[in-house]
Every structure is written in C-alpha cells, then in structure tokens.
Amino acid sequence: MKKVLFVLGVIIVLFSFSGCNNYQTAKSFQEEAIENGFNNLLVGGNLAYCDNALYYYSNLYPNAGVMNAYEFTDKGKTKMLSDKKIPTIYFKGFYGFNNKLYSCLEDNDFLSVYDSKNRKFVKSDTDIKIKSYAYYLSDDLIISYKNSKTLKVNYKEKTCAVTLESGIDNFYPVGEIIYLQNDRGALYSFNLKTPEKEPKFIDELANDGSYKVFSVCGDYVYYDYYREDGEVTNGLYRFSLNNKTHQLVTDKEVSCVNSWNNKFYFVADGNLYLDKLKASPIKISDLKTQSIYIFDNKWIYLDDLEGNVYRINHNGTVIEKIDILTIGQLK
C-alpha cells in the first residue's frame, strides 16, 4: 500500500463523552495500513507516527519546546524514547513518512528530517525548498511551492510546474488530479496525465471571501466561506464535483479538518464531527479538540487544548487515552 504524507484549515448528536474521565488506556501504537498523515493544515501538527513510535510536541506552558517519542511497554504504559528541546518559534509541525520524521523549521528554507542518533533535525535529502509550509510527499508524487503562483511537481520521476497567475493558496492531490484554490477562493484542477495543459477552472467556491479549509473527500470539495457583507451564510460547505452544487454543512466556525475513506471529520467549537458526505454531520466527541490526526484505518488521534492525547475509532464508539504523563518531567 502506498504511503502518503500531506501537509497543508442541523447537527445530529450521536455520541457524547463529556463528563466521563474513565477512558481506557491505549495499549498499542501498531499501525494498520497507514493511509495518510495530518491533512489540510499548512503548518503541520504536534503529533506524528513514525517507526513504531508516537512523537508528540508540547506547545503548552510550562512544557513548551519539548519533543518526546513514545512506545508501549508490555504493560500498556508508554516508555519515553527521546526528548529534544526545540525553540517554539522555530517549530512548524512534524510528519512521519516512510519511517522518517520530517519537519519544517522556521529558521531554515529546506525540509528537515529527524536524526534520532544525534537527537536533532538535519537537512533532508529531498529537494523541497520551504517557500510555504504546505507540501506533499508520496511514493510517486512530490509537490512543493516554487513561489506564490507556482507549484513544483515531480510525478513518477518527471518534473513539471503548475501555475495560476491569480496565485495558489491551497492544493489537494487526488489520484492524477491536483485541485487548486486561487487567492480569491476559486477552484481549479490540473491533470497530471496532461502536464502541458493549463489548470482548468471549475467553480468560484469562496469567491472574494475569507477561507482556510480546503479538502477533497470522495466526490466533494470541502471549503469554508466567510464574508462580512451578509451575501452568504458563513460556515463550512461541500461542493459536488459531479453536479456542481454547494451545500452548507455547518454554520459553525471550523478550526480543523481531516478525512479518510469517504469520511470527513471536522472540529467546531472544540467538538469533533463526522460527515459521511451526503447525510447530516454527526457529533462523535466533545473533547476540546485542537487537531485531528489519522495514521491508520482504525483510529483518529486527537490532542486537546490541555495537552492530553486521545484516540477514537472512526465511528466514534470507542475512545482511549494515550499515556503521556512524562511530558514536562524531563531531568
């Protein structure tokens, strides 16, 4: 199975976990068919899975700047593998890919990789230059920004450039198509099979509004749209690539999204929701979620606003807490 890393923004209540602190403790980090990493946020995340260990970076006072790696012992507790103080202002998230831990560091213009032996980030062997903190790594496709208008694309060892004169604010690859959002919120597509052709305009999407979410799941593009003039209902929308219709998913402000296997997850007001593309979204957790991470086909990993780490199965029926008690207790 190909591994992918992507770096890049009426509700029915089914399950609610508030007021219950008796969560069972997770007993294994063993992945099951890794699909992707942390989607849709340009600056990456504080949690990454790599080489049978879970890496966590704390950005909360007084423990800010501590990076730890954990593996499970035979008793289900976590064992700390390493620690490294990283100045908070330099750290822009990390990502596990092909058993390597990558990161963007603000003081470098290249993609860094973690050297576990010397316990530090060093320059990676990729040729990605960090013009923006969004990039994409997979077995046969690498995407990075060349500048604000152009993406550098390497597909099956052939290189091409994708350009929008109106600027490229977001991108999302699906198969041999790269979906693009320009600096006015409009949607375009680029076909990797015909790289000599210009990107194709599809729809205005969030035209002349403000936005941060841009994600593709199934046959839908998810985007948020905010305008102060009252011309539209502010909130999260899904756009059908088949019939070109727009549907409001929620009028709540969305802080984070991720997707897996035609299931789209988003966080609004700190709560985690599941949208199955055609039905109304379902609230599956009221943990005060900061970010969503999907490393495998069984679990969704979350970190909350207090620095706790949990994982929930994809339907929200099982919740487990990750033991990270050693964070902030380094000697």
pLDDT (tens digit, 9 = 90+) per residue, 201-225? 999 988 777 788 889 999 999 998 8
In a domain, 331, yes or no: no
Number of compact structural domains in the chain:
1
Residue recorded with tokens 């009252």: 230
In a domain, 259, yes or no: yes
Count of residues for the chain? Answer: 331
Residue recorded with tokens 């750290």: 91
d(CA 153, CA 192): 9
In a domain, 58, yes or no: yes
The mean per-residue pLDDT over the stretch 268-283 comes to 86
Long-range contacts of 76-83 (CB under 8 A, 24+ apart): 76/25, 76/26, 76/27, 76/323, 77/25, 77/323, 78/54, 78/322, 78/323, 78/324, 78/325, 78/326, 80/326, 81/53, 82/116, 82/119, 83/119, 83/330
Q: Say yes or no to pLDDT of 151 above 80.
A: yes
Q: Say yes or no to pLDDT of 163 above 60.
A: yes
Q: Is the peptide bond before 195 cis (omega within 30 degrees of 0)?
A: no
In a domain, 227, yes or no: yes
User: Do residues 175 and 156 touch, judged by C-beta distance below 8 A?
Assistant: no
CATH number at residue 314: 2.130.10.10
In a domain, 329, yes or no: no
In a domain, 183, yes or no: yes
Q: Calculate the alpha carbon distances from 136 to 4, 49, 267 in Å.
A: 8, 16, 23
pLDDT of residue 301: 86
pTM here is: 0.82
In a domain, 330, yes or no: no
In a domain, 209, yes or no: yes
* Residue 28: domain span: 4-9+14-322
